[in-house]
Chains A and B, each alone.
Chain A
């Protein structure tokens, strides 16, 4: 069954094309048909058409019925003919009438294999091989017609809010259109997009904006009117994935987000580099964390640039990868607090006769006045302990009888150097500082008076 477009029309033999002559040689009958190239046009509209039955005569005045297909032609023939007609006369800059003759000859070659078709130098003259370049151009355009952009049919993963720019290595993208106008020359630009799955399609741009039509007649050769060929669609799928880098800082000693002493994990700065060690950006730790969303897929490296107050700079660098399979990366990074070893030595006594003071305890208070530790000297009068970054007050709790307690003193820990504290409660000899009033003169005066009286 032939799909028929409800149109009845007729055609006529229109203007000749100067200096172009064509011969058709039919193998089965050994007959040569020769002619000067000439247009077929539709009565009323003057739209041109091609003959698709080279060895059947045209009957002017015959009535034609239009249709999209012909039973007398195979699917392949129809496809080839319509493509030749599409890219032939009228397409782009193919406006010279010679293109009509060239297109007609090429259509005959598809329409019937029972013949040979060629140009001649005059009416029924000698065969000449001309317009080969033009025919190659049409064939090239037809060949290109089947070529889709290099990325069509592909599936792509991109990061949320990132752009995807696809380059068509086949260089055919410019002949396609897209509803979202995402095509710029050979580039297809998508995004930025929110997380989800998307499908983008693009279609071959149609030149004539009308369908091709076959015209059939009972008593005349069938004709083909040029129109758009079956549009080619291409699609790509895009998966938009949110990515996430989270850095959590913990104290190496407390193994938690609680910093030691008066140190602060916040304020640390990490530098982020790509796999080629190119700096990307700095990340600042706030509330023990740094977050970076929608980092592109790839391999990265981070290194601490500045430690939080009271912490030692982490010299290590950390590598990680953001992939579609592993788009969320969480790193727990430790910092070693600055801490000082305190060696406290307690002695008492006279100079040259100092004794080691055992079992003497000291309170260690933090800046808030809270007792954080109590340490006690051993038999050697010594005790050693560590204090993290901060300022501490050391208060002696007990002492040897008769001796004063060491005055409370402050230790500021701002580096890791050991500190030796030698605390000595001295016993110092003092002279007798008591004096009485000198009454001797009064005694002598009394004595003298007594002698006088006597």
Chain B
């Protein structure tokens, strides 16, 4: 009995534990039948470094299966990359608690703090220009701006139904 219980406990525990970063995709080119294949482990396309909160995290390309907030800091689909002069690069990540809550200390940032990014091997420096919160609706409202812009967003730590938005402009 005890062995049986211990077995079920271990099975359940490991089923809820965070998974590894193995990448899955499906090849549907052959007779239309989806055949799962395992690709080589992907490399991140860039890194985010926020000195004030000692955050340094990698992120993956927009089309990568690794580009999900369940695993990493994630590029939102609407993001033109920083390689464009007039770019609006949006990064999101979980806050709250848990190992993927990379942005759990994002509310400690202040206007003027620096944020650094590498993207495809090129470094970009930003300064926080403004910080605001919006009601959580599944959308954020991003104002029009010029030059290289970076948005960091997450649920406001410690607040319910509030989205924290940090707007950064390139530090020229």
Contacts and interface: CB of A to CB of B under 8 A. Distances in A.
A438 B100 CA distance: 11
Interface in B23-38: none
A437 B98 contact: yes
A433 B143 contact: no
Contacts of B94: 433-435
A421 B87 CA distance: 15
A353 to B, nearest CB: 12
Interface string A397-423: 000001111110100000000000011
A426 interface: yes
Contacts of B142: 404, 425-428
A436 B155 contact: no
Interface string B101-116: 1010000000000000
Contacts of A441: 12-13, 16-17
B16 A430 contact: no
A434 B69 CA distance: 10
Nearest to B2: A452
Contact of A423 (B5, B100, B144): B144
Interface string B137-159: 01111111110000001110000
- Which of A409, A424, A434, A440 has the largest count of B CB atoms less than 10 A from its CB? A434
A169 interface: no
Contacts of B16: 438, 440-441
Contact of A426 (B88, B93, B155): B88
B92 interface: yes
A440 B98 CA distance: 13
B144 A425 contact: yes
A426 B141 CA distance: 5
Given A404-B143, A409-B146, A426-B88, A448 B9 contact: yes
B76 A428 contact: yes
A407 to B, nearest CB: 4
- How big is the B interface, by class? 35 or more
Contact of A440 (B12, B92, B141): B12
Interface residues of A, number: 34
Given A430-B163, A433-B103, A433-B153, A425 B141 contact: yes
A350 B139 CA distance: 9
B138 A430 contact: yes
Contact of B143 (A407, A438, A444, A451): A407
Interface in B1-53: 1-2, 5-6, 8-9, 12-13, 16-17
Nearest to A396: B143
Contacts of B78: 351, 426, 428-429
B167 interface: yes
A20 to B, nearest CB: 112
A7 interface: no
Contacts of B134: 402
A426 B77 CA distance: 13
Given A434-B155, A444-B13, A406 B93 contact: no
A445 B9 contact: yes
B90 interface: yes
Contacts of B101: 435
Contact of B76 (A409, A430, A452): A430
Contacts of B167: 407
A432 interface: yes
Contact of A448 (B5, B97, B140, B169): B5
A402 B144 contact: no
B154 A433 contact: yes
A3 interface: no
- Which of A404, A441, A452 has the largest count of B CB atoms less than 10 A from its CB? A404
Interface string A214-238: 0000000000000000000000000
A409 B16 CA distance: 49
A434 B161 CA distance: 9
Contact of B5 (A426, A432, A452): A452
B84 interface: no
Given A433-B155, A435-B94, 9 more contacts: A407-B130, A409-B145, A430-B163, A433-B103, A434-B155, A438-B98, A440-B13, A441-B17, A452-B5
Interface of A: 350-351, 402-407, 409, 422-438, 440-441, 444-445, 447-448, 451-452
